């Protein structure tokens, strides 16, 4: 779907109102507002949820995904 995305992580947390919040951090080849809108629209259509989306560097995401304490890469973080 999104060839521009090089890496990603998904973080689920609870906000101040006590509801779940989805944050997607992505590393892309070229940052643009259009990729943000496309991803948000895709989530809204499939899950009826609009996540927060942040751009991150590929290196920053790589260090989070490949934690030395885990033998497998982790792309999903549940902080609820």
pTM: 0.86
Among the listed residues 23, 20, 21, 30, the one whose alpha carbon sits nearest the alpha carbon of residue 9: 23
Residue ranges of the domains in the chain?
5-78
CATH T-level assignment (fold) for domain 5-78 = GMP Synthetase; Chain A, domain 3 (3.30.300)
- What's the pLDDT band for 58 if we cut at 50, 70, 90? very high
Q: What are the tens digits of pLDDT across the range 4-48?
A: 899 999 999 999 999 999 999 999 999 999 989 998 999 899 988
Between β-strands 52-55 and 76-78, what pairing exists: parallel, antiparallel or unpaired? unpaired
- What's the pLDDT band for 50 if we cut at 50, 70, 90? confident
């Amino acid at each position: 779907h999104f060839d521009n995305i090089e890496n990603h992580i998904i973080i689920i947390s609870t906000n101040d109102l006590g509801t779940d919040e989805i944050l997607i951090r992505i590393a892309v080849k070229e940052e643009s507002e259009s990729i943000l809108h496309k991803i948000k629209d895709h989530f809204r259509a499939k899950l009826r949820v609009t996540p927060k989306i942040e751009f991150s560097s590929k290196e920053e995401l790589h260090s989070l995904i490949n934690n030395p304490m885990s033998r497998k890469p982790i792309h999903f973080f549940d902080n609820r």
